[in-house]
Structure 1
Amino acid sequence: MDLGVNIIGAYHSAFGKLEQETLYSLYEQAAKGALEDAQTEAGAIDGIFVGNYSGGAFNNQENIASYGVNAIPELRHKPMYRTETACSSGSSAIHMAIMAIKSGMMKRALVVGVEKMTALDIKGVTEALAMATYWPEEGNKAVNAPCMFADLAKGWMRQYNFTEEQLRSWLAQISAKAYSNAAENPLAQLQKPRTAEEILSIPDEKNPMINFPLRLHDCSLVSDGAAALVLEAADLQNDEAVTFKSFYSAADYLDSFGKNKSDHFLEGASYAVKQCLQDAGMKIDHMDVAEIHDCFTITEMVLYSAMGLTPAGREFEAIESGMVGPKGKLPVNLSGGLKAKGHPIGATGVAMHAAIYKQLMGQAWGIQKENAQRGMVVNIGGSGTSNAVSILERK
């Protein structure tokens, strides 16, 4: 079934260290860019939903949603809301906009995802991101994102009896895929392709261990950027559109892997994918392209089983077989993903949806999947605490 909600326009800034941009300028560019792409006047928008993880920690600015009025005065007195679910904040904004349109209270909504991270040094960024952990037992005790996903990697190795050397090879292949794809994307933060062999040969001092077994080249980027979408009710009869077939967001325990949830399988993501496919009346084999969460290379690898591409414990087969490569059965992260395109937290989910929208419209910013008709977004917040999945189809 269709949800009765279409995407009719999208915007995606360059991602990276954007020294000339602010949280405000990125918001404004994204909002105006999406409206222009949709050929829609601001006055036709009924509400604005903004994904932003922590403008307070990064930029001393909470209450960012209403800056939409400053950016586009024609939006004054429209309802504006901010969503925050860590790295899935942007997808949560999209899902809230869908619900508003399905309720009948809105006909068109503007969704903006934005984050300006590089104003802080790496210590400040680490502290800001640690607020997405269960603070009393984790963030307050120096547990951060690399710690949590290192726990997932170690749990996976223990569960399936693989060595660090084996895992490192598979993760290098995932990194290499990201770098190669990003090199074709003019909006990506990293533009230099690397092979898996090149990554594995990097000296330890240039590819240091961040948290065993994850190294620097296993980690996504500190980024600035913004993305935006215009959504509208399908009964407005826009023929040049992509429709939402289904969406689902599955919450899980706030604390890290291995406490109340698995340390080797992404249970929340698996639940959300299964629910989304069921609601759409589809199987994973029906997907032509996917943008999935690769905050760390281990995240992407373990998502292969959560999505049903491989059995648990055999996730590496998806990368070794080429299934998830640019010419594979289900190309994953043709944009370069969080790993190489960039990961401005609040913008990430919106950017993932924008990338799939452009793929399905045949207007990809990077590598174009030929004749792509259906796509999936899998966006994770925290240690699998918020799992947002969407299925989109070209009308």
Structure 2
Amino acid sequence: MATALPASHSAYEYFCGVSEINENMRGIRQKLLFLYIVKEMLLYFFVCFLFLFFIFFVNNILLLAEDVLSKQAPFKDVALLMLYSLPAVIANAAPFAALIGTLMGIGRFVSDLEFLSMNALGISPRFLMVPVLLVGLLVSIVSFFTNDVLLPASAVNFRRVYWNIATSTPALELASYSVKRNRNAVVVTGLIKDGRIHNLLIVDKNADKAFRILGTQTAEIEKSDDPSIVMSLKMMHPHLLILDSSDKKKYDAVNGEAVTYNVLAKSIRSSYFNSIGPSEMSSFDLYKDIKEKQTQDEDKRILNLYWMEFHKKFSIPFGAFFFVLLAFAISSAGKVHNQGAGFFLGLLIAVAYWALFMGGQTLCLRLNWNGTSAMWVPNIMVFAASVVLLGKKLFR
């Protein structure tokens, strides 16, 4: 049935109005579709993030249980340690959650034929890729903020709480069959059980810079009421050997019934508060530190390690963006047909990426490989694979 045109409007104006309405409707539909894809991607990201967060967090709990809880440290301080370890867990879990979540989400779109329906309606792959990449960029920014702002702050608090535990739980500073070094001494321990050390050797220097070697078969770990003393080692039947630094032929040997060796707080405090490494700095502070070391002609190997840590602060968080791009490329190439396949494929890619990343870091540490390259090669490989898989889809 034909529709009569209003007398006051020309045919041209009428069809222009209809065209404008169609354009507005199209814009509304695209907006709804955009938000729908973003919502689905975020949903799958959060599900995968909780899964990976649980794994990393449980791993931290097991490590704390071995080092701290097993030595009867205060539960309140242990809970604070767990709290301050959360930024590291979040920073590591987020990029891989973006990868697995995107593969699972797009896998559902493919299995439910939603992407096929969208393509049939004339929606280009480039439009579908925009909300997916936007989610990846958002995850990268949040992960970078966590890694660059929250992690350094939590590292300082972690050290402070750990110091409080160490001073309240003397046994925490010692471990069975280990070598502990502080500013003034080296402590070698055998089996530690029930507050007793079996076979203990201490090497330090006296006021005259002479080496002292103090050893015993049995020593008890005692807590001191003096805040300047972390712990006291009550040694039974000790043997002391003093070596004269000026004359190697001279030495003194002393045997005794018992002796108490006090571990001073100032001798180990520096290991908690004065040795903040590059991984615990913000990117801005680390960059300033690198520039300062360059003016001081610092060793090239040290500078390379610092540059590695600097680029690591960017490569891991923004790896989420490259992961999402790869996940979209794999799904667009028809390699993922359901959520289960996306989940297992995501895990395999995450393991391969982490192995490549850690391998590059090891080469940097041991063979002085370029730190910048070591941190960015995995992301470059992920990006290259994404471009190859996407192919002509980007230009349709």
Q: What TM-score do the two structures reach when normalised by structure 2? A: 0.24
Q: What TM-score do the two structures reach when normalised by structure 1? A: 0.24
Rg (Cα) greater in structure: 2
User: Structure with the greater relative contact order (CA < 8 A, sep ≥ 6): 1 or 2?
Assistant: 1
Higher helix share: 2
